[in-house]
Structure 1
Amino acid sequence: MPPLIRYLGMAEYQPTFEAMRAHNRATNESTPDELWLLEHPSTFTQGLAGKSEHILSAGNIPVVKIDRGGQVTYHGPGQLVIYLMLNMRGRNFGVKSLVMRLEQSVIDLLAEYGITSGRQTGMPGVYVVTDGVVAKIAAIGLRVANHATYHGLSLNINMDLEPFSRINPCGYAGLATTQLSALGVRDNTQVVGEKLLTHMKANLYG
C-alpha cells in the first residue's frame, strides 16, 4: 500500500513532535505508512545520545530534547524535513537497511541534479565534497517504538547555515555543512520535496 503523504508547511517543532508520538502510540498492524513533509522554525533538537557540550552557543534558538537517536542538529526555514511514520510489521528490512535506503534516496536525488554525494563510515547522513572539504547536506535520525518508526530526515536546501556553527553537528566538532543552493540548485523546498518523495518511494516500496 502506498504511503499517505501529508504536507504540513511551516510547523512548530514541539506540537509536531507530540503528534508523531501520538501517531506512533496509536499504530497497529493495519495502520498505513505516512510521510510528513514540512519545515520548522529555527530549533535545535538534541537526541538521546546528546551531550550538552555539543551545544556551543544556542543564543536565542530553543533547544528541544527529544527521543530520536543521535546528537544535536538544527532545523530552520529553507530546510526540507520528512518524517517517516512507517509500520515495520511484516517488512522485509530492518532499521539499519531503512537508514541506508533513506541515504540512497538523497544520493539518488542529488545525482538527478548532477551532484556527487555519498556516505561517511559511522556517520549517518549524506555528504558532499566542496573545495576539498567533506560537508554534510542531509541528516537522518529515527526512533522505533511499537513496531513503527518516527522522526526522519532533513535536507538543507536554501537556508541560513549560521546556526550550525553554534553546535557540533551530530556530535562532530567542526563538521562542515552545506546546502543545495550552494551547489547551484535553484529549486525550492516544495519542488525538491516532490523529487525526493519519488526516490524514497522507489527505495522503500519499489
Structure 2
Amino acid sequence: MLIRPLARCDYLPTYEAMRAFTEARDEHTPDELWLCEHPPVFTQGLAGKAEHVLDAGGIPVIATNRGGQVTYHGPGQVVAYPLVDLRRLGIYVKEYVFRLEQALIKTLEDCGVTGHRVAGAPGIYLKLDDPFGHTRLPSPPDPREPWRGIGKVAALGIKVSRHHSYHGLALNVAMDLSPFDRINPCGYAGLRTVDLRSIGVEVGVADVAAALARHLQVYLQR
C-alpha cells in the first residue's frame, strides 16, 4: 500500500481527487492510503438530514457520497482515506469496516487508551469515566440516555464503488471540539465527542498518524 501524506489540505479538492482516483483505477492499480488534516468543515453523508446541523455558523457544510450522517473535520484530527480494492483483498464491506475499526482500536491501544465498538453505530467510543480501563460499555445501554458515559473519539464514513473503497476514518487527537456542539454527531443527539487531549493524553498528530498508518497496513492486507 502506497502511503501519501497530504499534510493539511482542503476537503473538497481532496474528495474530488479520491473519487477521480477510484473511477480511473483498474485491477492492477496499487492501493493507496492518504493521510491528512482538513481545515474546519462539516461533511454530510448520503443519509444526512439537514436538522442534524444545528448551527453551522461560518463553517462550510459539504454534501458527499459517503455513508452516514454529518461529522466535523478540523485541525488536530488525523483523517485517513484508504483507497483499497476489496475484491483483490478478498473481503466484503462488513469485514472492511471491522478492519478499519480494529486499526483504530490498536492505534488507541498504543496510547494506553481502550476503544470500544457500539453495535449499529460505526466508529470507536470511549468510557468517559475510565478511558484507560478494560471494562465493557454498558450493555444494553439505558434507553433513556443511551450515550450517557460514552464519548466518540473516531468516526467512519466510507463509499465502495465497483469493489473499490474511498472516504475513510477520522481520529480526534488535539482539536477544538466546540464545532461538534453545532451538530448531532453522526446523527446522534446527545452524543459527546472527545479527543485524546481531553482525556489527558498528550501526543502529536504526526505520531498518531504514523501509528494509524502502520495498523491500517497490517489490517488491509490478505
What TM-score results when the alignment is normalised by the length of structure 2? 0.89
CA contact (8 A) 2:89 2:221 kept: no
Structure 2 equivalent of residue 60 of structure 1: 58
* Structure 1 residue 146: Cα displacement: 2.7
| 8 Å CA contact retained: 2:156, 2:168 | yes
Are the counterparts in 1 of residues 89 and 220 from structure 2 also a CA contact under 8 Å?
no
1:148 to 144, 150, 164: 164
Alignment of 1:1-206 (within 5 A): 3-131=1-129, 133-205=149-221
Work out whether residues 49 and 70 of structure 1, in 8 Å CA contact, stay in contact via their aligned partners in 2: yes
Question: Given that residues 43 and 61 in structure 2 are in contact (C-alpha distance below 8 angstroms), is that contact kept between their aligned partners in structure 1?
Answer: yes
Identity of aligned residues (%): 52
Deviation beyond 6 Å, 4+ runs, structure 1: none
Distance 1:185 1:198 in 2: 20
- The amino acid across from 1:115 in the alignment is V
In the TM superposition, residue 110 of structure 1 has moved relative to its aligned partner by 1.2
5+ unaligned residues in a row in structure 2: which ranges? 130-147
- CA apart distance, 1:109: 1.4
Describe the superposition over 1:89-124 as per-residue Cα deviations: whole angstroms up to 9, x where unpaired. Answer: 332211111111111111111112211111001000
User: Gapped runs of 5+ residues in structure 1?
Assistant: none
Count the aligned residue pairs.
Answer: 204
Shift of 1:205: 1.9
One-letter code of the match for 1:56?
L
Partner Cα separation in structure 1 for residue 88 and residue 16 of structure 2:
26
Contact 1:27 1:87 in 2 (8 A): no
CA drift of 1:83 comes to: 0.5
Partner Cα separation in structure 2 for residue 58 and residue 169 of structure 1: 13
Q: Which amino acid aligns with 1:155?
A: L
SS state at 2:48 partner = coil
In 1, Cα distance between the equivalents of 2:93 and 2:31? 15
Query: What TM-score, normalized to structure 1?
Result: 0.96
